[in-house]
Amino acid sequence: MGQIEDLRVFVDIVDSAGIARAAEIQGIAKSAVSRRLKMLEDRYGTQLIDREPGVWKVTDAGRELYQRSVRIVQEIDEVESDFVGHSAAVEGPLSVSVPREFGMTFLNSSLIEFKKRYPQIQLTLTFMDRHVDLARENIDLAIRITEKPNSALNSTRIGTVKHNLFASGEYLSNQPPLKGLCDLHHHQLLNFGSTKRAFWDFVSPKGKRNRFEFKPHLNSNNGLFLLNAVRAGMGIARLPDFIVMAAEQSGEIVRVLPDMYIAHWGIFLVHAEDRRMNRRMRLFADEMKKACVFEEYG
């Protein structure tokens, strides 16, 4: 057994939380698995798994080796997958992190269709707004909506998100008129976030940058909730197009100060710098590029 196979055995031991199950996966005797684990510990001069009577715990060194071993083993498997039987069905694991609301609203059907199209890909989707550590958490790809992607990651822009200010017609009919940014001070402003003082950046038709600071009437970290608050006549919110499309088209909400430009954000597909794009990742990237190109509206 070579070093790569030793690492593969170690990954199986950690994944299955035991030597017996790892031996079944490998098709070898339990004593052989125990021996390989002991040889790894001797090679690296540290205990990888605390396995005293009644105890089974992966040590800090063991977790570090596991995380790095998973990537190495996956790389080897992906080379085999990419270059042996190119016409065969695409299969294997694919882990993706997706912004919660964007994934659950705009991308929902595209993600389901991708899984239907490639049923043998073991797709794991995590919906969260936190920027995960892709390398440490063994995540292949992440979709991120931001003005500027992390320069430490490989990123590809696959779409654009536009923001505007929105309110309900009922709310505006009962409030002071809005002609410019300064008039916003007389209105109830709903903010995405959780802060006592918030700000929105704008660019005027003449290109002048303006930062409007305010005390939020309501804070929330959920864009769909803010949309419903706007519908209910609670105030004005800055919202992305993928959340407001249907509500604006139906006339439930209207744009406020449409001449004040808000900088567009990019939709980026990112992966760790040391992560090679395999076939599964490339197929997913192609599908998301198609999904994130949508027509202007309104």
Q: Could you give the angle at the alpha carbon of 13 between the alpha carbons of 7 and 15, nearest 5°?
A: 100
CATH number of the domain enclosing 73: 1.10.10.10
For 72-117, the pLDDT digits (tens) are 887 777 666 666 555 557 788 999 999 999 999 899 999 999 999 9
Considering 149-163, 215-229, 284-298, the range whose residues carry the highest mean pLDDT is: 215-229
pTM for this model (two decimals): 0.67
Distance CA(281)–CA(78), nearest Å, equals 11
- Would you say residue 181 lies in a domain? yes
- Would you say residue 296 lies in a domain? no
For 238-265, the pLDDT digits (tens) are 999 999 999 999 999 999 998 888 888 9
For 14-57, the pLDDT digits (tens) are 888 888 888 888 888 888 888 888 888 888 888 888 887 777 88
The closest of 106, 97, 55 to 240, measured between CA atoms, is 106
Does residue 156 share a domain with residue 273? yes
Structural domains counted in the chain: 3
Do residues 96 and 141 make contact, with C-beta atoms less than 8 angstroms apart? yes
| DSSP-assigned letters across all residues of 186-218 | GS-EEEES--SSEEEEEE-TTS-EEEEEE--SE
Q: Could you give the angle at the alpha carbon of 290 between the alpha carbons of 126 and 292, nearest 5°?
A: 60
Distance CA(13)–CA(20), nearest Å, equals 8
Q: Give the model's confidence band at 295: pLDDT under 50 very low, under 70 low, under 90 confident, else very high.
A: very low
Tokens representing 42?
């001797």
- 123 pLDDT exceeds 80? yes
Does residue 113 share a domain with residue 56? no
Do residues 178 and 206 make contact, with C-beta atoms less than 8 angstroms apart? no
Q: Which residue has the tokens 């002609």?
A: 179
Longest Cα separation, the chain: 80
Does residue 250 share a domain with residue 114? no
CATH number of the domain enclosing 204: 3.40.190.290
The residue range of the domain holding 61 is: 3-83
CA 12 to chain centre: 27
Does residue 280 share a domain with residue 155? yes
Do residues 139 and 96 make contact, with C-beta atoms less than 8 angstroms apart? yes
AA identity, residue 62: G
Does residue 157 share a domain with residue 270? yes
